[in-house]
Every structure is written in C-alpha cells, then in structure tokens.
Structure 1
Amino acid sequence: MRIISMALGASVIALAAPAIAQDILFKPIVEARLRVETVEQDGPAPISEDNDATATTIRLRAGGEVSSGPFALLAESEGTLALDEHYNSGVNGKTSLPIIADPETVELNRLQIQYRTKPLVVTIGRQRINLDDQRFVGAVGWRQNEQSFDAARIEYMGIRNLKIDFTYAIAAQTIWGIDGGRFGATNRPTRIEGSNLFATVAYATKAGTLTGFAYLVDEDEPVVALQRNSSQTFGLRFAGARPFSKTVKLSYAASYARQTDATDNPVRYAADYAAAELGLDVSKIRLTAGYELLGSDAGATGIAGGYAFQTPFATLHKFNGWADKFLTTPATGLQDYYAGITYTLPKLGKTGPLAASVAVHRYDSDRDKIHYGDEYDAQLSLKLDKRLTALVKYADYRRKGIASFTGDADTRKFWAQLDYAF
C-alpha cells in the first residue's frame, strides 16, 4: 500500500511538473556597448600641456529576470573596462585632463523584486527609475555606468486616465562606480544615502497629460557640496500632441516648478524652473524649438554669489546640450534657447531606421545678463539589425567673453559607439 501511495504521489508530481515549469519564465539580460569618446578643451581650465582626452571603454551588463504569475525577481551586474584611459574619469586622479565620466567599475546594478498586475506595480530593491522626461529623476543612461536607486516604488493605474507613482529611495548608486570618492573626489561618491521621496500624479486627457510632481531630495552625506542638493521641488507639467494628418503632427510640452532648500542644506534659497517646447513632425522631418529656465536666487544665504535651481538625480545629458557644460547650474542661473531638426529614414537597404539630427543652443544667465556661450550638436544613428545599433555624435560648445563658471571653456566632444542588446 505504501509503495502504491508513493508511486501515486510520484505520478502526481510528474504530471504537475510541466505545468509548474511552464509557469516559470526566464528572460536573459545581455547588453554591451563599445564607445570611443574624445574631448578637446581650451583654456582656462584645466590648465595643462594636454587639454585633450580620449576614452575607449566597453560596458557589459548581464543578468536575468525570473517571473511566475505577478511576481518577478531581477538581478543584473554591470562592468566598465577602459581600454584607453587617457582621460579624467572623475575618480582616477588624472585631474589635469578633461573629464569623461566613465570610470572603470564592476557592480551590482539592479536587484529587485516586483509585483505587477494591470492596476498595480510594486518594485522593491535596487532599480532603474525614469520619471517623466527624466528632468528630475533618471537613470543617466548615456553614461556607461548608469544610476540606480535602492528604493520601494508603487505605480497605481486602477483609476481610468489616472496614474499615481510614488517612490521612497534610501540611496542612489551613482555613475562614479566602486572607486567613487577616491583621490579627493569626495563630491563624487559611489553611493549617496538619504531619504528621498519622488511622487507624480498624472491625468490623461485628449489634449495631453497633466502631471503634478513633488521631488523631496535629502542627500544625507557629510560633504557640503552634496548637502547643498537637499531640496524640495513642487511643480506641474503638461505634454501632448495633436495630429493634423497621417504625416503631420504637432507636439507640445510645458513645465513649471518651485524649489527651496530642505533638511540639512546649509544654503537658504528659493528658485524657479520653467520649460516649454514645440515639435512639428512633417513626414520624415521633425522640427523642435524650446526654452528652459533654471532660476537663480541672488539673495540666497549660506553661500557667496547666490544659488540656482539644481536637479542632482536627473539624466542631465538629455538637457542643455551634449557638451555637458551645465551639469551643475551656475550660481547666476541658466536660460537655454534651443532649436533642432531630425530626419529619419525608416529603411536603408536591409538596415534602419537611420536618424540624423542637428541642434543649436544659446545659453544665458538668469541674472546679471551674462551670455555664457553657444553650442552646436549633431548626431547620426543607424540600427544595423534588431540587436545592434551604431552611433556617431558631436558637440561644440563655444564660450563667450570671460569664463563665467567652473569649467567654462571652449569644448569639442566626439563619440563613436556600438550598442548590442540581446
């Protein structure tokens, strides 16, 4: 009888195993990026016999996601190797060279548990977070080592046309990697701890999506330069599009926010943010024009010369030109007037799409009537197949007058890269 029971039990397990196996899914993560980046930088800073830098780096990501029903576990490692390190990575001590913020590193990029249904997604652990246009919170995907957050995030979509997104983050894993903070680079640590709250409420209408947001940043670090990033920002954003025909579409976006100091910030200030952009798609051509203001408070206390609106957790490379001259907003603030054109070919032989774009920026201060400079950007990208993409890119920043902020120098940057994603 015991033998029969054991055999029956084994049969039940054998019959159930295929069903269980089918319910467990595995999705591999394999990504690679090979990049050559060069920088030619004129005086006044850094002062060196060699103001040129070259970084040849390769970035690898590997991992996977195991899911069953609404639950998923994701783990992903990330590593960057410098094949040519004639550059200042920000943490390698080569401070006489221009900075290219791709340090060598090996780290755990993401480790998260997720519960996901149609109305609700909950993510806990080290994760990638991109909110709205990434102006305030993003993964900094352009850099080889991306930014991730140790956080709990809730996304609720159970009410028609409404999305509520709330994140509590206890730390940001920065782009500076495992050597963060070395050689005196205390303002570029591996990890920034704190109690950060990111909240957005978005309501979709026929004309576009209206989003209210609150970003409460607490950089709980002993470094004064990081403490100054602690702030509270409240604002609104509206973005939408209107098609006129199958080949003509108008898109638009506008934002406003108010930022003040918070928690242990030694600076007392208040500053405004405003942005507006129009885009016109006509067949294969897209025209864009926009304006962005990061305001300055001349009466800020606790720091000489005033203080300006900052977005320390943003994907900053997306904004204010690809030369990255305004990763930290100058004390006198920033006004960015820009325009661009993109031409896209869906197919180019057996490859495609092919996209070519150019853009121009004029940078002025918010106060004191300073014209910082102008920038000219160009990019060409081609998808070679479903997994491989090639890109070349150029940025040329031309300073006007005297140097108006740290790092204000004529700068030319060039990139060539290949991206692979499995």
Structure 2
Amino acid sequence: MIKKISFAACCSLFCWPFYVSANESVSHEFDWSARTRYADFSGEEDARAASLLLRLNLDSKWSENIETHLQLDNVNRAFKNEHSDGVDLNGNPVIPDAEGFDLNQAYVALNYDSVKFQLGRQRINLDDQRFIGGNGFWQNEQTFDAALTNIKFLSNSQFTYAYIGNVNRIFGDQADNNLSPGDEGYESWDGARPAAMLGDHKHHTHIAQLNYNEWDYSQIIAYAYAIDNKTQPTASNNTFGANYNFTYKADVLKYRVRIESALQKQPELNDSPLLTYYLLDANIGVNRFEFNGRYEVLSNKEGVNFITPLASLHDFQGASNLVQNYAAHGIKDSSIGITWRATPFKIESQYHQFRSYTSNDYLAQELDVTLSYRPNRKHVVSLLLAYFKPEFSASEESSTSKLYLDYAYNF
C-alpha cells in the first residue's frame, strides 16, 4: 500500500541527483531495523495482537549540499480476529498497528551552513511532540508530506518553518474512504469511513517554531501552528504558545523545570471561544533516580475542547489512550512519576489522576510502568504495563489493563 507522494517531492528525489557534477563524490548508506510486538488488553472487552515491523533505509549523499533519504516499512500482524487495527473494524478493541507496505519517508535535503531545507515525505517532531509529532510508538508512524526549513542562528538557536500538504496517519493508506461490508458500523455510516479514521488527511497547514537557546541553564521556545485540515475540518485550529525550560546540575542533584502556556481558536466553529493550555513539569534527579511531578490542563469552553490532533498522543495523558473517552468537558491531568536507571536497565512509573476541566469532578486514574533492557545500541527489549480505571465506577470489571512487549533490532 505505497502511499502517494507529491509530484514535486518525487521529481526532487529522482531527478535532482542527475544534476550533480560527475566530479562530485557520491555515497550511499543502507541499513535496516525490525521491531516485534505482542499486545494484550484485558477489561470489559479483551483483545490481543502480534506484529512485525521491517524497515529499510537508504541515505544517499549526492554532493556536499544535496542528500536524499528513502525509508520503506512493512508491517505484518497476527491474531487478526482478536483485535481491530483501525483499518479492519471487527468490533474488537483497536490496537492500531496497521498492516501493509508503506513509503514512510522520501525526501531531498539541501544543507547550506546554517540553513537546511527538506522537501518530501518526512518526520516532523517538534520539541516534546505535544503538538506536532510522529506517534512513533505505533508500528506505522505518522509522517508529513511537507516543505521544511530549519535556520540556525547565534550560537545554539534555531527557527523551523514547515508547510504541510498531507498527513500520513498511523492507520495507513488501506484506511481509505470505503469501509468493507463486514466492518462494524458499515450500515450506520453508509459504507463511508469516518474522517477521524482515515489514513490520509489533506492539509493546508503552516507551522513555525522559534527555539532560543543561548543561556547556560534556560531555554525559551515559542510556536505558532495554523492547522488547516481539509479532510477533517473539525481538527483545524490556530494555536500560539511558548514554554520555558530550566535545567541545572549540582553535584549529585539535577533539576529540570518546564512551564508552558498556549492559546487556541478553532476557525471552523462560529464564534469559536479562546481556549487555553497550561503545563507545569518539574523533575529532580538523585543518582540513579529521577522524581517527576506534572500538571497539565486542556481547557473547555462552551462545549469546545482544546485539541492537539497532530501530537504524538500516546506519549501524553496515560499510555492506555483511554482518558479521551471521558474528557468531553476538558481535562486536568495531575501525575507523579519515578524513574530508575542502571545500565542496561531502566524502569519508569507514572501515576495519573484525571479531573474534568469544567466541573473538577474526578474522571479516572491510571498507572503506567515501563521496563527497558538495552544491552547495546542494536538490541532493545521493553515491557509496558498500563492500568486504567474510571473514577466514577467502583467495579473492577470497568477497569482496563494493557500490555505491550516489544523487541527492537537496529542494524
């Protein structure tokens, strides 16, 4: 299921190298990686899945200034009748590791001292990916058909701008406009896949970020995202924000603090309210341990939620990805965490308590634990356990447990 890439990007990738002088040295570097996964969900509805991602990379350097990158992915899965993958909707819980062959990245890069330009299908991971990211946890990551410019200035600062024409989402190209007759919801949706479940979203989106990093301990990032989603207009928004980061190490102690605020309007809505986002994140590291406290608020006004549709959503508000089912009136996420590191092992834990933004009522709680083993650069084994329980229900049957066991190999 090779995704369509823009004509301009294809021309850039396959025609530009022929303009390189015969005297220029040309080099190619090939590598591959693999990631296997077993996922098991237990709750009101059970599900399980197994998948294998094979990834091939070809990096070519055509001259001192011109490079190309080609990345091909293939995902296969098992236990197909025991889960939905976001493409096949059989009524079981969704584990969105969609199957198929994918042109994941294909771009040309021009490098000129402090300026870099990339055209084509590419990753765009800005800052911590809270607003723009690749959802790389899933086997089929999110990439962007875009033109991106990165400009470095002063000693360690940079400005990034990108125009996005298409978002290649984690469901893949097989999640097209038409449902299969056997899919759940086929009749109620008249055979048409809802826009939120499509594998491709057409965009006319502009994103810009300024990263000012000229101090020893402080960093300021300001951003403006004009997201114009033509396929799903309700996901369009104009978001403006900034964050301040402080990092300091004194002997055995290490401190990290992040403060962030953003404003958002959703132009597709008449008289769209001005929505707010706040974050306070504090970390203290002592030897092998790191302690974290985090408070994040996504507001709601007049029935409209603050949204982050292009974020790496799995990385925020709990690894179970379930709290959004209860967040119709905004969300307040209070969490604490502990991380322990001793090479090659790492253990992370995070406890979340979720409240409604408008009423301050308890919504749910969640505990996530991740165990990682990385003996060297090539091999990584990780186990993620997530336990989610709605606060309003005392019944254990209403809770959900999720397990992800991954093994990754990097050539």
Shorter-chain TM-score above 0.5: yes
- The match for 1:191 among 200, 205, 212 is 200
Aligned residue for 1:169? 164
In the superposition, the TM-score normalised over structure 2's length comes to: 0.86
Report the alpha carbon displacement of residue 329 of structure 1 after superposing the two structures with TM.
8.0
Q: Is the 8 A contact 1:203 1:211 kept in 2?
A: yes
Q: Deviations for 1:371-403, whole angstroms, at most 9, x for unmatched residues? A: 111101111101133211101110000111169
* Correspondence 1:254 to 2:262: no
* Correspondence 1:235 to 2:241: yes
Q: Is the 8 A contact 2:223 2:240 kept in 1?
A: yes
Aligned residue for 2:84? 88
* Correspondence 1:355 to 2:346: yes
Secondary structure, aligned partner of 1:157: strand
Q: Deviations for 1:29-77, whole angstroms, at most 9, x for unmatched residues? A: 31210000111122xxxxxxxx100010011111311013121011111
Q: Is the 8 A contact 2:69 2:105 kept in 1?
A: yes
* Correspondence 1:335 to 2:332: yes
* Correspondence 1:315 to 2:323: no
Aligned residue for 1:220? 230
Aligned residue for 2:210? 201
Aligned residue for 1:210? 220
* Correspondence 1:386 to 2:377: yes
- The match for 1:99 among 86, 94, 100 is 94
Report the alpha carbon displacement of residue 369 of structure 1 after superposing the two structures with TM.
2.5
Q: Distance in 2 between matches of 1:143 and 1:233?
A: 26
Secondary structure, aligned partner of 1:177: coil
Q: Distance in 2 between matches of 1:327 and 1:80?
A: 27
Q: Distance in 1 between matches of 2:373 and 2:366?
A: 24
* Correspondence 1:65 to 2:70: no
Shift in alpha-carbon separation, 1:198–1:272, aligned structure 2, 3 A: same
Q: Deviations for 1:284-314, whole angstroms, at most 9, x for unmatched residues? A: 11111110000001x2xxxxxx111110000
Code of the residue aligned with 1:415 in structure 2: it is Y
Shift in alpha-carbon separation, 1:241–1:161, aligned structure 2, 3 A: same
Q: Is the 8 A contact 2:323 2:364 kept in 1?
A: no
Secondary structure, aligned partner of 1:317: helix
Code of the residue aligned with 1:253 in structure 2: it is R
Report the alpha carbon displacement of residue 327 of structure 1 after superposing the two structures with TM.
5.2
Aligned CA-pair RMSD: 2.0
Aligned residue for 1:31? 33
Secondary structure, aligned partner of 1:312: coil
Q: Distance in 2 between matches of 1:117 and 1:28?
A: 24
Report the alpha carbon displacement of residue 227 of structure 1 after superposing the two structures with TM.
1.5
Code of the residue aligned with 2:361 in structure 1: it is I
The structure 1 segments of at least 4 consecutive aligned residues displaced by more than 6 Å after TM superposition are none
Aligned residue for 1:302? none
Q: Distance in 1 between matches of 2:258 and 2:352?
A: 18
| Runs of 5+ unmatched residues, structure 1 | 1-15, 43-50, 300-305, 347-351
Aligned residue pair count = 372
Larger Cα-atom Rg: 1
Q: Is the 8 A contact 1:231 1:265 kept in 2?
A: no
Aligned residue for 2:297? 293
